A = this chain, B = another copy of it.
């Protein structure tokens, strides 16, 4: 890759390729370590992990590689307002649970751990990068991460969000274009206003902040990486491209759905978690398109048994099939091979432009 940047040097990686945090078990320690070994930066999506699980995952990564890696959390959000009663929210999921042989879902209890508990584990984890999505983090969190020598990356879906993150003091901004799979990182604007395509978002963000910009959304191969650099990005963050890798942990039905879907078959949904996220349209997304959905993370807790059982049963209709709009370019392979291919393809794309 002919493009070492100040950011890759700071991160201590060879290639400006970051495996996006995917949470929910998709970014296994094996995947994170394989990306790191190949010269990119792997990320543990720890949003749904308890502190002890975060430490376990980090230990498992460190046993597999001495290369740098990151951990990602969802920023602390205001406590959700639970529905007056859960009857309707449970009723609209009941048939899926029954179909999977599960008892009806039950109202979620209080969270077992806080963001601060998770963050304490991140600081102890040995990760060299802390990234976050959905909002700002407290200044004390940022200071603590920096005191550990960690590089801090925030997620922006608009220029104003990027500017706010820079003011907060992040070391880099991941600019998440509307093509991206999984949860929208929006916080300063309602997500509906913040569906800016990567081609438009990245250069406008680069113009507005001094920190390095990491391009995310729709980047699946070396052509996309070269394009991101042309737009002024200092690195790329790729989720869907890594999701179909051998080491990635989503259910096989999720990988198959990505490999078989077309670019226009994803939509933004709140059905699975209560927050907007891009996935391949399936029965749950279609059924609940206009439904009232409990706020995040209440809906996420409600649907978890369904998603877990559906993964085991191979029933894609009940899975959150997170995927970005570049999915026709998804490939099945080892993550290290993917990183090497991406480097080669990027060089080829740049060579064609030369």
Contacts and interface: CB of A to CB of B under 8 A. Distances in A.
Given A159-B262, A264-B193, A350-B353, A328 B204 contact: yes
Interface string A289-333: 000000000000000000000000000000000001110110000
B325 A197 contact: yes
A230 B353 contact: yes
Contacts of A328: 159, 204, 207-208
A207 B204 CA distance: 28
Nearest to A206: B223
A200 B326 contact: yes
A219 B202 CA distance: 11
A3 interface: yes
A217 interface: yes
A11 interface: no
A194 to B, nearest CB: 5
B158 A264 contact: yes
A328 B200 CA distance: 9
A31 to B, nearest CB: 22
A7 to B, nearest CB: 15
A263 B196 contact: yes
A178 to B, nearest CB: 5
A236 to B, nearest CB: 10
A200 B203 CA distance: 16
A226 interface: yes
Interface string A69-106: 00000000000000000000000000000000000000
Contacts of A193: 264-265, 267
A53 interface: no
Contact of A223 (B178, B220, B232, B352): B232
A224 B206 CA distance: 13
Contacts of A262: 158-160
Contacts of A189: 264
Contacts of A197: 177-179, 197-199, 217-218, 325
Nearest to A215: B199
Interface in A163-218: 177-179, 189, 192-201, 203-204, 207-208, 217-218
Interface string A333-354: 0000000000000000110111
A219 to B, nearest CB: 6
A228 interface: yes
A227 interface: yes
Contact of A203 (B2, B194, B223): B223
A205 B263 CA distance: 10
Interface in A226-240: 226-232
B199 A224 contact: yes
Nearest to A222: B230
A208 B160 CA distance: 36
A352 B192 CA distance: 34
Interface of A: 2-3, 158-160, 177-179, 189, 192-201, 203-204, 207-208, 217-221, 223-224, 226-232, 262-265, 267, 324-326, 328-329, 349-350, 352-354
Given A160-B262, A178-B178, 7 more contacts: A179-B199, A197-B199, A199-B218, A201-B325, A203-B329, A229-B353, A230-B349
